[in-house]
Structure 1
Amino acid sequence: MAVLGRNGRMGSEAVRAVEDAEDMALVAALGRGDDLQGIVDAGADVVVDLTVPSATRENVRFAVEHGIHAVVGTTGWDDAALAELETQLAAAPGTGVLIAPNFAVGAVLAMKFSELAAAFFDSVEIVELHHPRKLDAPSGTAARTAQLVAQARERAGLGGSPDATESDPQGARGADVDGVHVHSVRLQGLVAHQETLLGNPGEQLSIRHDSFDRVSFMTGVLLGVRSVASHPGLTRGLDGYMDLGL
């Protein structure tokens, strides 16, 4: 297998994780500016993309074009890009791509728990907290959580969370993702943290996950590498490879 983004914080951690895995062989590790042909020449069957939003679409397009499975942890995939990828995968039977907003198993479970709980509470908001070097806001995990929560509330026949705010010129109420408010914090000393806050009259439920070290993401990365070949087509979210029984 191969890693793209070897010099980044996540990429370098992935290189170590693969090298330590007894059932994997790292045949290539590319950094910014390296020729993607290197993963083909090295005979990689799976590529892990942990690069930047401006590069990830071309990286995955190249991998699928050459019949290489892809495990993607880079954000920047909007609906149009996903639709284009699905069209490409339709012409590449047997090739699998996993695009996951988060590879920490606990974060994936917190997303699922948030989705399950959302149908039973009047109010829901999301707070995500990351290191100040993060390039996007809100995080991909928070955006995906908000989408899942919104879908669950729609299925349950619930409207938006009650909110009497009439004036917010400074945007203090945060981003609106499918009708769910998401608040982003960027602070030195943090890695990756998220809390879903759910409220009913007289009660509150908090679903929180904390990653204190990037090694927390490697369990999911390795699960993705081991599973992607048996899941052709596009899988969105690591939970697609986890038997949650839900």
Structure 2
Amino acid sequence: MVSSVAVAGASGRLGSLVCEVVESHPDFELVAKLTSKSGADEGAEADILVDVTSPEVSQEIVERALGRGQQVLIGTSGWSAERIAGLEQTMSQFADQGAIVVPNFSLGSVLGTALAQIAAPYFASIEVIEAHHPKKIDSPSGTAVRTAELMAEAREAANSEPLLAPFTEQRARGELVAGIPVHSLRLTGVVAKQEVRFGGPGEVLCLVHDTHSNDAYVAGIRAALEAVREARGVTVGLDSVLGIGRSE
């Protein structure tokens, strides 16, 4: 059975790629390319709404889609743990629907975050550096936020000692996310890059993921599209879609 898809944010970098993936997939039909000029009811006939817009409008778009009975795939950055908790409350009204939130569609990025969770309980210092192209509006990136939150959860589950993060009141020390400093770079020539640095007595561990082109996102978009058709409730992360284990 072919599922119809509307893409909100279709004119953006990720939105254009999502449209290409949908159009090339035999199980999906692209019925609407939505932009900031589109009316609120455009794309309402679609089975699935893919939201790859901006953090400012994403929540409204998602809630409207759920109210129309659509399945929702969220690729917009900025969905923090707090916002996801709100989405879970909203989804309690829609037992027969599902929403998947994917901070990053790259398999390498997902694996990098999983490895960061494994390492997090064993080091006293952790900092994240993320870099993206100059047109990325939000910072820190959704991937960096999610990575920091999951590392903090792993440390809490392991009863780790409090992190050492001195002088965080200084702006140059980055933004604290779940107690972990996150630094954002916006540079010409960069697609996406994330580095997590772990410091311990006498050693430093660096986990680096570097995206060189948008081709890195294609497989993840396909997997998330295929999963969202039967999704129920809220699913967070490409790791959950692919069955990559993480600490709870």
TM over 0.5: yes
Deviation at 1:225, TM superposition (A): 1.0
* 1:112 counterpart residue number: 114
- Residue type at the aligned position of 1:189: G
- Tell me which of 76, 79, 86 is aligned to 1:77: 79
| Contact 1:160–1:180 under 8 Å retained in 2 | no
4+ residue segments displaced more than 4 Å: none
* 1:236 counterpart residue number: 236
Q: 1:36 to 1:224 in 2, by over 3 A?
A: farther
Cα deviation 1:111-133 (Å, max 9, x = unaligned): 11101111122221111011122
1:160 counterpart SS class:
coil
Deviation at 1:76, TM superposition (A): 3.5
Deviation at 1:85, TM superposition (A): 2.5
- Residue type at the aligned position of 1:29: K
Q: Is the aligned partner of 1:26 residue 2:57?
A: no
Structure 2 residue runs without a partner (length 5+): none
1:40 counterpart SS class:
coil
1:14 counterpart SS class:
helix
| Contact 2:7–2:15 under 8 Å retained in 1 | yes
Structure 2 length-normalised TM = 0.90
User: How far apart are the structure 1 equivalents of 2:135 and 2:71?
Assistant: 29
User: How far apart are the structure 1 equivalents of 2:86 and 2:174?
Assistant: 30
Q: Is the aligned partner of 1:63 residue 2:62?
A: no
* 1:218 counterpart residue number: 218
Question: How many residues are aligned here?
Answer: 242
Cα deviation 1:43-67 (Å, max 9, x = unaligned): x111111111122111111111111
* 1:103 counterpart residue number: 105
Structure 1 length-normalised TM = 0.91
User: How far apart are the structure 2 equivalents of 1:175 and 1:36?
Assistant: 35
Mean CA deviation greater in 197-206 or 5-14: 197-206
Deviation at 1:232, TM superposition (A): 0.2
* 2:206 counterpart residue number: 206
Deviation at 1:170, TM superposition (A): 4.7
| Contact 1:121–1:198 under 8 Å retained in 2 | yes
Structure 1 residue runs without a partner (length 5+): none
User: How far apart are the structure 2 equivalents of 1:179 and 1:79?
Assistant: 14
User: How far apart are the structure 1 equivalents of 2:208 and 2:96?
Assistant: 37
| Contact 1:63–1:70 under 8 Å retained in 2 | yes
1:26 counterpart SS class:
strand
User: How far apart are the structure 2 equivalents of 1:59 and 1:239?
Assistant: 24
* 1:141 counterpart residue number: 143
- Residue type at the aligned position of 2:113: M
| Contact 1:71–1:221 under 8 Å retained in 2 | no
| Contact 1:5–1:30 under 8 Å retained in 2 | yes
Percent identity of equivalent pairs: 39
| Contact 1:94–1:229 under 8 Å retained in 2 | no
Deviation at 1:206, TM superposition (A): 1.4
* 1:17 counterpart residue number: 21
Q: CA RMSD in A?
A: 1.9
